[in-house]
Amino acid sequence: CKTAKRKDNGHGCSQLSLSITEALSYSCDIAAGLVFLHSHLIVHLDLKPANIFITEQNVCKIGDFGCSQKLQDPVSSGP
């Protein structure tokens, strides 16, 4: 995975500098990953920036499945 370019925001934290195109592409990658996981009844339970990795091909991947769980039965989110 590659290291992202970061800027100090003056509060001791870094912010990732992304174009709108990159942000949209990364968001789609993450959403597709979640759709795949959920279609296999897997819930991540610890999705956060530190658990998103960017490959050399500029694709976002979800990682760190230490807290994830496999559900036994599909659960409806509807009323």
Supply the residues annotated as catalytic: 46
What does the alpha-carbon distance between residue 53 and residue 56 come to, in Å, rounded to a whole number?
A: 10
69 pairs with which residues across the strands? 43
3-state helix, strand, coil in the chain (%, to 5): 30, 20, 50
